[in-house]
Amino acid sequence: MNKPLGPVLRGKRTGQSRLRVGVTLFLRDEKQTIWENGIFQNCFFLLQTLRKSPLVEWCCVVVAGPGTPEKSAAFLKSAEAPVMTMGEAMENLDVVIELSAQLDGEWGKAFAARGGRIVAMRVANDYVIDAERMAFKLPPGLLMTQTPYHEVWTLPAFARTCAGYYATGCRAPVRIMQHLWSPTLLEQAAAARGGSYDFRYVPGRARWRLAVLEPNLCSVKTSHIPLLACEVAYRMDPTIVEAVRVFNTDTVRENETFVKFARALDLVSHGKASFEGRYPIVEVMGPFADAIVSHHWENAQNYLYYEALYGGFPLIHNSDLIEDCGYRYTNFDPEDGGKALLQAFQQHDLNLKTYVADGRKLLMKLDPSSDANVRLYSEAIAGLFEPGSLAAAPTPRRVPAPAL
């Protein structure tokens, strides 16, 4: 475990001082991978940005949870950052960004009393997740606690549903931040599969193998609309569909309601659809699928989209936050989704170079190391130390970031 140089002097910062920043990461006893959820990836991409910031002396991972850094060494390696415990963070950090692991309220109060700043970074649709967990008596996700947050950072995808929820519940101003992504983790995973594997769309297939990759963990991302869109396309032209593989269905494929839903489809009765477990995208796209059919509800920025665009894979989606990339259909309209899928099949191979180029333009704006994103996050960190930033705002304010 890398040790920092020593504790900083609280409350005596000058304009020339550089900050020590930690990002929380939850560790479990069992094996973890970066592909389990987007929050783990977001943690590692955020660290890439922080390392580039002129305000940051160094950054680290702050671990919490039942797991240990020693048992999670392979998982933590991708972060490329030193690791600290909560106790070490208390003594050595200026800023803690709560991302994957939630801070204990009493710890947060003590850290703030020492002059530290605390950011709650929220990168999921917590309003919907929390509402579902309350209504159906599920284990809680992130909780509203007594932690004294100085600011909440979230993404454009959640500005509408969650900004007010965070501002009032967390008693802190909300800042809308740029989403971050780079192909680093994807390329590492692809390289681990061997030298002959290339995460790239291969044109020329007479029929497509379609993948539905929604996690099916809450209502913001499920396989229902994608399946119906595939069904529409199949009814209109069954010759274009070789197979539809619906992944991440471990939690639903034994559910009576879902089974009846699936059995109503021609894709199922004709033996075209299969229901699979959870796998990283690099194990799916190419070997088992050619195109992705996706759907979200108030969750319009997903790493899945970026990964598909990076590999040149056809992405049939309903997101309004990835510019003109992919093949977009109207929100909850599977008829339009089926038409978008047919359009993709007819046009994708002919326009592949343009499709890939358009995707790369979008992905450049998400680059954690870009000057624009480093500046944006640096300005947000600097704002934590501006005069009056610790005062409770009588009316929650929202601080927008530049649009994509």
For position 318, what pLDDT does the model report? 98
Question: CATH says 184-364 is which class?
Answer: alpha beta
- Residue 1: predicted pLDDT: 35
Task: Say whether pLDDT at 8 is over 70.
Answer: no
Task: Give me the mean pLDDT over the 29-42 stretch.
Answer: 84
Q: Does pLDDT of 142 surpass 90?
A: no
Spatial separation of the C-alpha atoms in residues 373 and 376, rounded to whole Å: 5
pLDDT of amino acid 304? 97
Q: In which band, very low, low, confident or very high, does the pLDDT at 155 lie, cut at 50, 70 and 90?
A: very high
Provide the 10 A C-beta neighbour count for residue 317.
26
Residues 110-129 have a mean pLDDT of: 96
% of the chain at pLDDT higher than 70: 91
Cα gap 299→294, rounded to integer Å? 11
Averaged over 31-37, what is the pLDDT?
A: 82
**Per-residue DSSP letters for 210-258?**
EEE----SSTTS-SHHHHHHHHHHHHH-GGGEEEEEE-S-TTTTT-HHH
Q: How far is CA 398 from CA 109, 166, 173, 252, in A?
A: 23, 10, 6, 38
Work out the pLDDT band at 6, boundaries 50, 70, 90: very low
Strand order through the sheet with 241-246:
273-275, 241-246, 208-212, 291-293, 315-317, 327-328
Mean pLDDT of 81-101: 95
Characterize the bridge pairing of strands 83-84 and 95-98: unpaired
**For residue 14, pLDDT beyond 80:** no
Beta-strand pair 117-122/83-84? unpaired
CB 253 within 8 A of CB 362: no
Phi–psi pair at 180, nearest 5 degrees = -120, 140
In the predicted structure, residue 297 carries a pLDDT above the cut 80: yes
Query: Structure pTM?
Result: 0.91
- State yes or no: pLDDT of 23 exceeds 50: yes
What average pLDDT does the segment 167-174 reach?
96
pLDDT digits (tens, 9 = 90+) for 369-392: 999 999 999 999 999 998 755 433
Least confident of 47-56, 107-116, 127-136, 326-335: 127-136
Query: Looking at the predicted structure, is the pLDDT value of residue 3 above 60?
Result: no
- Tell which wins on pLDDT, 41 or 78: 41
Q: Is the pLDDT of residue 2 over 90?
A: no
**Average per-residue pLDDT in the chain?**
90
pLDDT at 164: 97
Q: Are 34 and 77 in contact (CB under 8 A)?
A: no
The yes-or-no verdict on residue 396 having pLDDT over 80 is no
- CATH architecture assignment, domain 19-180+368-399: 3-Layer(aba) Sandwich (3.40)
Mean pLDDT lowest among 168-182, 194-208, 305-319, 335-349: 194-208
CA 289 to each of CA 224, 245, 342, 376: distance values in angstroms, whole numbers, following the listed order? 18, 8, 16, 37
* Residue range(s) in the chain whose domain bears CATH number 3.40.50.2000: 184-364
pLDDT at 4 over 60: no
